[in-house]
């Protein structure tokens, strides 16, 4: 019986600590930036920096590029870079990250603008 309770608690903990890109978007962006650079230039700059810390995947959006960092297969950070008129608008998201001072992953988004 104790084993079953422990398994249920472990499953609840694991599922409560993961997310998906759409769930990150549902909460709204944590940071938003506007740049006069191109969408691809901003997205590739973010991806290059993030690759020093996490596995990074990119995918095309209807009007831009999404950059996602994976930690153990789960997204931890995401940047959606979209074309809006003559500008690139970047929406930055993160999932349950604790950081003392400026988070370097989010700082990379700002730096790449």
pLDDT for 5-43, tens place per residue?
544 444 434 444 567 888 889 889 999 999 999 999 999
> Are 54 and 71 within 8 A, CB to CB?
yes
Is the entire prediction scored with pTM above 0.85?
Answer: no
For residue 97, give Cα distances in angstroms to 28, 57, 86. Answer: 16, 19, 33
Q: Which residues contact 95 (CB under 8 A, 6 or more apart)?
A: 19, 24, 74, 75, 76, 77
């Amino acid at each position: 019986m104790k084993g079953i309770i422990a398994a249920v608690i472990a499953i609840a903990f694991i599922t409560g600590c993961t997310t998906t890109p759409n769930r990150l978007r549902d909460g709204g962006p944590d940071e938003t930036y506007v740049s006069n650079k191109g969408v691809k230039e901003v997205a590739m700059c973010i991806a290059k920096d993030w690759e020093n810390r996490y596995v990074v995947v990119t995918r095309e959006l209807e009007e831009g590029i999404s950059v996602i960092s994976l930690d153990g297969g789960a997204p931890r950070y995401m940047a959606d870079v979209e074309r809006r008129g003559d500008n690139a608008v970047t929406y930055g998201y993160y999932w349950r990250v604790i950081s003392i001072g400026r988070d370097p992953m989010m700082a990379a988004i700002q730096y790449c603008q």
